[in-house]
Structure 1
Amino acid sequence: MISTDSKRGRIALSVAHCAGMLDMVALPVWVGTLMANYRFDPQQAGLLATLFLIGAVVASLLLASRFNRLPRRPLVTLSFLTSAIGFGVAALASDFKTLAGLHLLCGMAAGSALSVTHGTVALSANPHRLFAIINMALGVVAIFYLGVTPRLVAQWGGTALFGVFSAAMALAALVCLFNFPHAAALPSIAPGAAKAGRSTAVPAPARFSAAVWFGIVGVALVALVQAMTTSFVERAGIDRGFGPQAVAGVLIALGVVNLVPAPLAVLLERRLPARRVLLCAPVIQAALAMTVMNATGFPIYAASTAVFVAVIIFSHTFAFGLLARLEQTGRALAATPAMLMIGAAIGPVLGGTLVKLHGYGAIGVAAVVLAACACWCFSRLPVQATPAAPGVPA
């Protein structure tokens, strides 16, 4: 049996995470391509990306509460295969209604796979560390995606974008078919039973605590700011006259920088209280969003854009580990796609509406308001919820 902490299990979880979290790295090129190649306005382009994310949210909400009863490997494999087929069909389509339906379908399929993936990670011996590992993989994929996809789109048009998406989903389906951790190899959870690998027996509660809910809402708000900003960071740079090649270089730099936060989160796991990290993250994120969307000079635009996504990668690693300690059945973190994408689903269409009505600067103002709400939510988390002491599973 393949376990969550085996090499094959970690590879499968990393590949599944990268495919399922496609929106995290794809949104700048995704929305930009829909505007430039399909001639959709910002609101329409944002809505298509939003439909993918809504599908992922719905799937995650439906599956999270049933996580411990799901046939994990078959479900993940079939979900990614469905998404691969959907994006393959999207590569041949051009009208808005067809693309809208396919985005929704692919989102539901990818969200189903990602929900099971994150719930499985939550049941590992050290969720904080394993989540950081799969985010490192996402950082590597981001460099490749942001370096290659814009060139393919420039040469082949929007078909290339959806072709890349389809190939990524198909690869994930193949890898998970043979390597995704078996249910029998995972710690079992039953009311009143201890979770394997934990130092104490923790009953599976019927409902989440208030602290867990505040953490979930806070993560969703941070994800909203991230999606709202990154969806239009490419177009903002090009519309200010920085040039496609210069902006593409910034996106590649963004991918390189994204390699740093996950290993840094591992190194600082027992040195920084998770609650303090989560209180600081929205403030930094809002400041960067305001800078990116109002920058008139290329250096400040490039520097702010390059580090923007790194903030959520670093802080979400701490949030994942903290929530795994507060809610140890895996159900809350099986809803991770919903946490991230319920905010991210609103982000592209909200950002597009703000840009259409008030210009790019309005995104920065909205980011500040949402950051204040996220900080309030994270302030409700327990002060003592710090990383586990050495030798104790997180």
Structure 2
Amino acid sequence: MTRTESLPGRLALMAAHCAGMVDLVALPVWVGTLISRYGLDPQQAGLLATLFLAGAVLASATLAPRFSRLPSRTVSTAGFTASALAFWGLSSTDTFSTMALLHAVAGVATGAALSVTHGTIARSANPHRQFALVGTALGVFAIAFLGATPALVAEAGGPALFLVFASVMAFAAVACALAFPEAEAAGRTADTPSPLPPPQPLPRAVWFGIAGIAAMGLVQSMTFSFLERVGSDRDFGMAAVTGVLIALGIVDLFPAPLAALLERRWPARRVLLTGPVVQALLVVVIMNATQFAPYAAAASVFAAVMIFTHTFAFGLLARMDTSGRSMAATPAMLMTGAAIGPIFGGTLVKAFGYGSLGLAALAIGALAVLCFSRIPPVTPATLPEQVLA
């Protein structure tokens, strides 16, 4: 029986988090490939990504309330296996209706697996630190994916992207089958077993936190979906834009471990109030830059803001809801916004141009700040001792 604090358990959670959060890394290449290799317009490409994310939302919202009763290893293994098969199917078709169906199926399967992954992380002895650990793994994955996949797609064509996705999901399925850990009761260590407590109603502040993360997810996905396209359409050059994506992956190595180091030094609420503002300002720069330097600088740190802020949000909300249910709904809270983002962003770009994304980001960022402001102040000094251990 694998524990979350064991090396095999942590490695399985890392693999599952990287596969489940593939959209946070892959959206620029994903949407860009659908446009450049399959001939879709921004709205159509955004719709396919939205179908994947909407499927993940549906699965997460359905499973999260039942998290404590689910066989997590079975769900995660089956989910990633089904997702791998769906992406493999996508590599052999260019029919839009078939692609739409398979995107939705992959989303449902991935969302189910990711839901039990995040619920299990939330029930670990220190959810903030554990989430930072899997976030660091996502940064390593981002470097490998963004460094290799654009060149692979350029050489082998659009189907290569979906074969990469299928391989990532298959690897996660094997890791989960071998070592996915058992969820632990909140507030205990891996060596002191105890039954899961009965679920209680979610605190009202948790719902505001969920809404704030969903709003940031919307800004993240609507911008990230067109990060590669805006650079290409402004003639910055394929090599330069690919270099920015690689730099983005390297930068993504740092926000999660930095969040872990600052857990006891920076109040989580302050981070949550600042994150959406920085995120929105970066979107304004990315989507309005006519020179490569400001575009590159803003784009390279864009995803890091979401990773850093979400690590603090995950740790804070996991302590406010010890049942693990709200964090099992992490895919739903992230991907509710993210599911709207590609189609919303594609519609704005098609109708009003890239600059409209900056204005939308400012408005949505203000909504996120309003939601986070409803979370009561929590300082590091007030954290339970077992959380800081």
Which band: TM-score by shorter chain?
over 0.9
Aligned positions, number: 386
Residue 201 of structure 2 is aligned to residue 207 of structure 1 = yes
Unaligned 5+ segments in structure 2 are none
Alignment of 1:48-87 (within 5 A): 48-87=48-87
**Is contact 1:322–1:385 with CA below 8 Å preserved after alignment?**
no
1:44 & 1:341 partners in 2: Cα distance?
18
- Provide the residue aligned with 1:285 in structure 2: 279
How far apart are 1:269 and its partner, in Å?
Answer: 0.3
- Provide the residue aligned with 1:249 in structure 2: 243
1:166 & 1:203 partners in 2: Cα distance?
37
Supply the AA of the counterpart residue of 2:371.
C
- Cα deviation, 1:304-336, whole Å, max 9, x if unaligned, reads 000000000000000000001100000000000
How far apart are 1:392 and its partner, in Å?
Answer: 3.1
- Provide the residue aligned with 1:7 in structure 2: 7
Residue 320 of structure 2 is aligned to residue 326 of structure 1 = yes
SS at match of 1:286: helix
**Is contact 2:126–2:386 with CA below 8 Å preserved after alignment?**
no
Q: Choose from 172, 179, 184 the match for 1:187.
A: 184
Residue 346 of structure 2 is aligned to residue 352 of structure 1 = yes
How far apart are 1:384 and its partner, in Å?
Answer: 2.7
Alignment of 1:95-244 (within 5 A): 95-181=95-181, 183=182, 186-188=183-185, 196-197=188-189, 204-244=198-238
**Is contact 2:63–2:115 with CA below 8 Å preserved after alignment?**
yes
- Provide the residue aligned with 1:44 in structure 2: 44
How far apart are 1:196 and its partner, in Å?
Answer: 3.1
How far apart are 1:297 and its partner, in Å?
Answer: 0.5
Per the normalisation by structure 2, the TM-score is 0.96
1:141 & 1:384 partners in 2: Cα distance?
32
2:167 & 2:197 partners in 1: Cα distance?
41
Per the normalisation by structure 1, the TM-score is 0.95
Give identity over the alignment, percent.
59
2:203 & 2:196 partners in 1: Cα distance?
14
Residue 269 of structure 2 is aligned to residue 275 of structure 1 = yes
1:223 & 1:176 partners in 2: Cα distance?
26
How far apart are 1:205 and its partner, in Å?
Answer: 4.3
2:259 & 2:274 partners in 1: Cα distance?
14
Supply the AA of the counterpart residue of 2:175.
V
**Is contact 2:273–2:372 with CA below 8 Å preserved after alignment?**
yes
**Is contact 1:208–1:327 with CA below 8 Å preserved after alignment?**
yes
Q: Choose from 302, 307, 318 the match for 2:301.
A: 307
**Is contact 1:273–1:387 with CA below 8 Å preserved after alignment?**
no
2:235 & 2:29 partners in 1: Cα distance?
17
Supply the AA of the counterpart residue of 1:274.
A
Supply the AA of the counterpart residue of 1:63.
L
1:81 & 1:70 partners in 2: Cα distance?
17
Unaligned 5+ segments in structure 1 are 189-193
2:324 & 2:86 partners in 1: Cα distance?
29
RMSD over aligned Cα atoms: 1.7
User: CA 1:323/1:389 → structure 2, altered by over 3 Å: closer, same or farther?
Assistant: closer
SS at match of 2:386: coil
Supply the AA of the counterpart residue of 2:81.
L
**Is contact 2:34–2:45 with CA below 8 Å preserved after alignment?**
yes
How far apart are 1:389 and its partner, in Å?
Answer: 4.8
Residue 372 of structure 2 is aligned to residue 375 of structure 1 = no
Supply the AA of the counterpart residue of 1:78.
A
**Is contact 1:290–1:365 with CA below 8 Å preserved after alignment?**
yes
User: CA 1:275/1:202 → structure 2, altered by over 3 Å: closer, same or farther?
Assistant: farther
1:208 & 1:319 partners in 2: Cα distance?
15
How far apart are 1:208 and its partner, in Å?
Answer: 1.0
**Is contact 2:53–2:339 with CA below 8 Å preserved after alignment?**
yes
How far apart are 1:393 and its partner, in Å?
Answer: 1.7
2:381 & 2:365 partners in 1: Cα distance?
24
Q: Choose from 252, 256, 259 the match for 1:262.
A: 256
Supply the AA of the counterpart residue of 1:344.
A
Supply the AA of the counterpart residue of 1:59.
A
